[in-house]
A and B are shown apart, each in its own frame.
Chain A
Amino acid sequence: QKEVEQNSGPLSVPEGAIASLNCTYSDRVSQSFFWYRQYSGKSPELIMSIYSNGDKEDGRFTAQLNKASQYVSLLIRDSQPSDSATYLCAVNNARNEKLTFGTGTRLTIIP
């Protein structure tokens, strides 16, 4: 079982719609969860972090965490073509303080 699992996509979403990106993780003691965005040919950049169950909103982005289900998601409202990128889910393993990344989901926003 992969430690952090994401659907690789590609996920195509019409402009203006909600894009929903999902991530599951295997280590129950994980405490911190992050979403990185990586544009083609560029390096990853942190866009969201979440530490407790529930929703966290930042502009058009909402991170959702459910520790019981070991599930974290990222919603992007009013999707824009500039949101087209690969989104990497990352989980901090509290035992060894390492970030474990998923393979990423490639998102394409269709104008």
Chain B
Amino acid sequence: ETGVTQTPRHLVMGMTNKKSLKCEQHLGHNAMYWYKQSAKKPLELMFVYSLEERVENNSVPSRFSPECPNSSHLFLHLHTLQPEDSALYLCASSQDPGLNTGELFFGEGSRLTVL
């Protein structure tokens, strides 16, 4: 496996379900990110972890709960979501937590549909 891998690629859940998105990076990077991508909207930064420590929580509702057990793995736990949370959730990693190079390596994304 190389790069950034995300599972599942597609997820359909009801508003009362609990599910988790998983991300793994094989690049030896120091920072990992969750982004939300909705149609006709800019990529929205949700969470940033640098060396396993959360450094950014961009006013994300508590129904989204991140977890970073080590520098290679990142989870996004989902519970009691709303239909407007339906979107593509992208995981990314970078060598430089300060993003001076701006180089993010994205996973293929998890397409979430909330019914």
Chain A positions within 8 Å of B, measured between CB atoms, are 2, 4, 8, 32-34, 42-46, 49, 88, 90, 92, 97-104
Contact of B56 among A42, A90, A92, A98 (CB under 8 A): A98
Of the listed stretches B13-21, B67-75, B79-87, B104-112, chain A binds B104-112
Distance between Cα atoms of A64 and B40 in the complex (Å): 25
Task: With both chains docked as a complex, state the minimum distance between the C-beta of B10 and any C-beta of chain A, in angstroms.
Answer: 11
Q: Contact check: which of B103, B108, B109 meets A46 at CB < 8 Å?
A: B103
B90: chain A residues at CB < 8 Å are 43-44
Using A32-B100, A92-B100, A97-B98 as known contacts, say yes or no to A45 and B106 having CB atoms under 8 A apart: yes
Closest to B108 in A: A43
Interface on B for A, CB 8 Å cutoff? Answer: 40-43, 45, 56, 90, 97-104, 106-109
The dominant DSSP class at the B interface is loop
A90–B102 contact, CB under 8 A?
Answer: yes
The CA-CA distance from A32 to B103 in the complex, in Å, is: 11
A33 to B100, CA, bound (A): 10
Taking a contact as CB atoms under 8 Å apart, the answer to whether B98 and A46 are in contact is no
In the complex, chain B residues whose CB is within 8 Å of the CB of A8:
40
Minimum CB distance partner of A97 in chain B: B98
| Interface-centre pick from B45, B102, B107, B109 (highest chain A CB count, 10 A) | B102
Measured CA separation A34–B102 after assembly (Å):
7
A-B residue pairs in contact (CB < 8 Å), sample of 28:
A2-B42, A4-B42, A32-B99, A32-B100, A32-B102, A34-B102, A34-B103, A43-B106, A43-B108, A44-B43, A44-B90, A46-B103, A49-B103, A88-B43, A90-B102, A92-B100, A97-B98, A97-B99, A97-B100, A98-B45, A98-B56, A98-B99, A99-B99, A99-B102, A99-B104, A102-B42, A103-B41, A103-B42
When chains A and B are docked, how far (Å) is the Cα of A46 from the Cα of B108? 14
Complex-state Cα separation, A100 to B98, whole angstroms: 13
